[in-house]
Amino acid sequence: MQSASALNGSTGVGDHPPLIEAREVTKQFGGLRAVDGMSISLGRGEMLGLVGPNGAGKTTLFNLLAGSLKPTAGTIRIAGNDLSREGSERRIAHGVGRTFQIPRPFPEMTVLENVLTGGRDQAGEHIWMNFLRPGHVAAQERAAVDKARQLLDFVTLSPLEGEPARVLSGGQRKLLELARILMADPQAILLDEPAAGVNPTLLELIIDRVLELNAQGRSILLIEHNMEMVSRLCGRVVVMAGGRHLTEGPPAEVARNPAVVEAYLGGVA
Amino acid sequence: MMASLDQPVALSTRGLVAGYERDLPIVRGVDFAVRTGELVVVLGPNGAGKSTFVKAIAGLVPIHSGAASLGANDITTVPAHQKIRHGLAFVPQTENIFATLSINDNLLLAANILPKEKRSRRVGDLYAMFPDLAARPSLRAGQLSGGQRQMLAVARALIVEPSVLILDEPSAGLSPKIVAEVFAKLKAINATGVTIILVEQNVKAALAIADRAVILVEGVVRHEGPAATLADDPVVAELYLGVRQKAPAA
């Protein structure tokens, strides 16, 4: 099964601005320029792959797009809004959710409680609301629990909802993290190596869920070394090397690009 | 030093299965052998299991089944800290020196398992081999550049005169010029008779100094051969990128 964007090659841009657009973004760590004038855009409903050899700057770019890092230079727009200097909380509020290569759930909290931490704008977060409108707070909490349970069902973790998260395998932790970010209803989901360290059975499930999220209209940006997975999911792939945009195009095409081969085999300084 | 086929096997694995969790093996049945005096590079795309493979040999990752031997000795269950006494030295990718200690103290600490009378002589030997380190023995190791740190880590590993030296991505984070210097030093060490197993991402640079290469993909050996042949073999790019590089002949 392929994604809608893989089948029709659409970038999903249409008349709207891209959901995420980074222009000439640079991130400098001391003497190291991890991301160097990189531009990338994620269209609405698009499933875009981001690949490149080790040390290419992919995860740093992810951190910039998700707001975990602030760029040294360049602009990052989410749905047309310049959020270059805003942190991850503001990006989440604008519909950007991200997963990590190595998920770190709260180990002693239950699986359900972990998912609930992903909820936003809950009245109970404000202490006075608990006294002034306890009924409203309770109703919202019930709705959040219902939604978390639906999401656990979506990622097939319902049977484990009462277990502490520490009992989950690496692949199950990735599914839990996906459910947690879905609590905030992101329109763009940044997935950092969802296949890494996952057994083949769970990997198929993760691929299936990602396809389903894309079919719901959500945009997906995927960092992945598993090129087979990228080819199955993405209609377009961007290649980074040395912190820069090297090339982009359909996965099979870029994988045959001599410059890409050179970058992967150590030819790029 | 190019090892010939009649050299004895210095290190081997048979059906090695290893990983951090028993139900998710990263290395899935690897048969591997390196002959005395060879420099063999272990290549493969990210997540192939290269580092896990050598860490398992070094005793740092659990071996679930299969065996590892150093010469004729089975070292499968030998604890990591004992393997050095069997002649196996391992240089991890990171945290391979004591940053707050001086260069000299780093070397003396590594020499601690030698008999007392041999320690200062071996440190002197290593200074002769690494003149950059000899130039400022009291410098804190944390103040060294990335390339010099790797040299210190290699010097620490060599101090006990191992028969087999394993290095996990010594070029990581180094500039191409420094990578060339580190690799030239490894080649020189190999020329003294030390068998080297090198895990690398930098395919071209590693093939340039290796005798032979083994390519791991998803925890199994997918390809191997003489380094000179593999340098131009399109299969290497196919295995790295997961896509056929040339259309099959009609």
Residue B99 has pLDDT above 70, yes or no: yes
Calculate the alpha carbon distances from A227 to A51, B200, B240 in Å. Answer: 8, 20, 9
Residue with tokens 């409203």: A136
- What pLDDT does residue B243 have? 66
Cβ of residue B165 closer than 8 Å to a chain A Cβ = no
Does B67 reside within a domain? yes
Q: Structurally, how many domains does chain B consist of?
A: 1
CA distance A217 to chain B (A): 28
Please name the helix (run of DSSP H) or strand (run of DSSP E) that holds residue A139, with its range, or none: helix A134-154
**Complex prediction ipTM:** 0.71
Does B249 reside within a domain? no
Cβ of residue B94 closer than 8 Å to a chain A Cβ = no
Domain boundaries, chain A: 4-104+185-264, 106-167
Domain limits for position B117:
9-241
Calculate the alpha carbon distances from A114 to A68, A105, A146, A165, B114 in Å. Answer: 20, 7, 14, 8, 52
State the average pLDDT over residues B79-108: 94
The tens-digit pLDDT sequence of chain A (269 residues) is 444 444 334 444 456 789 999 999 999 988 788 999 999 999 999 999 999 888 889 999 999 999 999 999 999 999 999 999 998 888 888 899 999 888 889 999 999 999 999 988 787 778 887 888 888 888 888 999 999 999 999 999 999 999 999 999 888 999 999 999 999 999 999 999 888 877 778 888 989 999 999 999 999 999 987 777 898 899 999 999 989 999 999 998 998 898 998 888 875 43
How much is the CA Rg of chain B, to the nearest whole Å? 18
CA distance B120 to chain A (A): 37
CATH class of A4-104+185-264: alpha beta
Chosen from B22, B240, B244, B245 to mutate, greatest number of chain A CBs within 10 A = B240
Nearest CA in chain B to A200: B24
Q: Roughly how many angstroms between the first and final C-alpha of chain B, as a whole number? A: 42
Q: Which two tokens stand for residue B244?
A: 């056929």
As a whole number of angstroms, the distance between CA B80 and CA B4 comes to 30
Q: Roughly how many angstroms between the first and final C-alpha of chain A, as a whole number? A: 37
Does B4 reside within a domain? no
Cβ of residue A265 closer than 8 Å to a chain B Cβ = yes
User: Based on the number of CB atoms within 10 Å of its own CB, is B62 exposed (0-12), middle (13-18) or buried (19 or more)?
Assistant: middle
Contacts of A196 in chain B (CB under 8 A): 47
Residue A208: CB partners within 8 Å, gap ≥ 6? A1
CA distance A90 to chain B (A): 33
- What pLDDT does residue B116 have? 92
CATH of the domain at B74: 3.40.50.300
CA distance A177 to chain B (A): 20
Does B247 reside within a domain? no
- What pLDDT does residue B1 have? 52
State the average pLDDT over residues B166-186: 88
Digit-coded pLDDT (tens) for B199-229:
998 898 999 999 999 999 989 999 999 999 9
State the average pLDDT over residues B106-130: 94
Cβ of residue A241 closer than 8 Å to a chain B Cβ = no
Instruction: Please judge whether B237 and A265 are an interchain contact, meaning their C-beta atoms are less than 8 angstroms apart.
Output: yes
